[in-house]
Structure formats: structure tokens, C-alpha cells
Structure 1
Amino acid sequence: MRTAPFSRVAMLATGLATALSLAGCTTDGPKSTPAPKAQVVANASLMLANGASAGTAELLQFPGGYRVHVDARGLTPGVHGIHLHTTGKCDAPGFTTAGGHLNPEGRQHGADNPAGAHMGDLTNLTVAADGTGALDFTLHGGADTTGPALFDADGTALVIHAAPDDYKTDPSGNSGARLACGVFVRQ
């Protein structure tokens, strides 16, 4: 029969007409908007006790809080504790001028401590065999409390320690000596 080719053409035409009519349709439902991007608000150049570069760190602000991004290099392979410290000063060799951990709420140290964690507590940094490591961490606390603590009169430092943080021992998680330090400079 000769109707078979015609019916296939008719079905294709009907399908095409339907697709074209639907292409112009809109819905009144919720529209997807892209998530707001984080904005870099401060940078730190990390250095070792001998003055060599140990990488960089950024503080990024997003609606509702802050995030730390670290790109480390020149470190010994393994797991290292990493923290925000109360004073924006990094005098070698021990970097003790950075003070203690940033802790405006007076909590104890560590995510595994029932009386912790404080604002300066970050997760451990894993450094590969080539001496590099990266870390992204959202800080504890909202933007209204975190910002003033980060950008107070004496500034904030980021310190990388020799040993891993055990996430519970007060005051520093048994993370050992301070290997690298950087002062955050507001943009």
C-alpha cells in the first residue's frame, strides 16, 4: 500500500509541530539561579623558617561565611596540622609571634573535642611526595562573627605544623612545631 510512506511523513510532521510549539512554552515555577561565587578578600604568602616560599593561602568570602584555600609547596610529605592564629605576625624561626589559635568564642581545640572546635581549627593538610598539598575549608561561624575576628587590629596568620592534628587535644591537637607561616593581607 502507498499510505505507509505518507503516514510516516505525517507522524514526523506532527512530532515536529509539537516540539516547536513546546519550545515556546514557559513555566511559572522557580527559576534556577547560579550560586553566588566566593570573593577573595585576603591573601597570605607562606614561608618556611629559612625564608623559602611554602605556597599561598586565600581567604574567600561567600554569603554566610568564609573559606580558606591553601596551595602549599616545599613541605615534607605527610599529614600536617594547619590552623589560623590570632596575630598577623610570622617571625622565624619558630613563628611563635603568630600567637595561639584564633578562638574568639573561647572553645577548646578540635572537632572531636566535645568543647571544641574553635574558629582556627582547620582539617589536616596532606602533602604529596613532591612536597605539594592543597586544602579548602569552610570556617566555623557565620560572616558576622568570623569577619571581625579575621580582620581585627593585629591581623591573622595561617600556620602549618610538623605533625598531624589529632582533632581533640587542647590547645593545638598535638600538631607539633610550626613549619610555615603566612600573614593574611586584606584586598
Structure 2
Amino acid sequence: MQSCRIHVMGASGADVTSLGRALATALAIPHHDTDDYFWLPTDPPYRHMRDVGERLKLMRDVFLPRAAWVLSGSLNGWGDVLIPDFDVVIFLTTPREIRLQRLRAREATQFGTEAVAPGGHRHAETEEFIEWASGYEEGNVSRTQAKHQAWLAKLPCPVLRMDGSRLLPELVAEVRGTIGRHDGGAA
């Protein structure tokens, strides 16, 4: 496989990062997540954004020049300059109910069940995040399905639209098969 630069995107909780990691493992290439570039490292995480120029410089320094990688997460307009770097974009859509269940489970795993439960020190933040994520389909948040669809329509590379409620091994197999067809069978 000469070039395999994959961007996986979708709503929060769609399993974007999980698919990105699984693809990277299956293809034996590095995985990167936009959150690692978007957010400055803080404890607790996701408190302070990195400047757009810093994000892009870091990405260029760390992985963009390489021939093969998987990038998961949203670029929400700030990363449009990366579009020429993508060989394929995968757009995961997952029903809201499943997404929100996954997000609640992820928050409990990351911060602790007691911390995100009513009365816990992360409960209010978790509920705000869940409320924000639940608005993806209606378009009442910064990251929306309509914005993603408009962005996808402008891409010069192939776009794979996939159901994020399917099992990861099925999704990985489908992506590998599609990549193989696009690059002469070297998946």
C-alpha cells in the first residue's frame, strides 16, 4: 500500500476513535486523534484549546508527511487545509440513543462512575457534554450533521459512509476491502 491516509469522522459517540484505532491496528499504521492536537494537555482534560496554527504545526511535525496513518475526530473547519492529505474519509453515523449510551459509558470509564453520577464532582460537566452531543442531528451545536455533510460534499477523495452501530470488525473488514479496490488490491 503506497499511500493510506485515512480520516475517520462523525458525531461524538459514533465510535470514530474506536474505528480509527482498530483500522490503524489492522493496517499496522499509526493512529492519531484530533483531540490530542485540538486540546492542550490538562488535568482534568479538555479545558484549554490549542491555537489553530499550533495544532496544524504539531500535526505536520508528528505525522502528516508520512505515507500512512489514520486520523480520527472532527476537524470542524479548522483543519480544512488538511483535505489534500486524505486518501479516503470515513463518515460514521450512529443513532443518537446509541451514541449517548456510549458517551455516558466513556465518561464513567474516564472519570469514574461516582464522579459522573448525580452529586459527583463531574456530574454537571458530563450532563452539559451529553446535552451538547445530543444536538448533533438537529444542528443546535457547533458540530452538526449538516455541517459534516456539507464538508463531505466538498471532498476530492472517496468518502465511505458507514453505520457506526455495526461491529468494529465488520467495519474494519469493509474499509480494508474498499481500500484494496482503490489501490489495486494492496489492503
Indicate the structure with greater strand content.
1
> Which TM-score band applies after superposition, normalised by the shorter structure?
under 0.3
TM-score normalised by L of structure 2: 0.23
So what's the TM-score if we normalise by structure 1? Answer: 0.23
Of structures 1 and 2, the one with the larger relative CO (CA 8 A, separation 6+) is 2
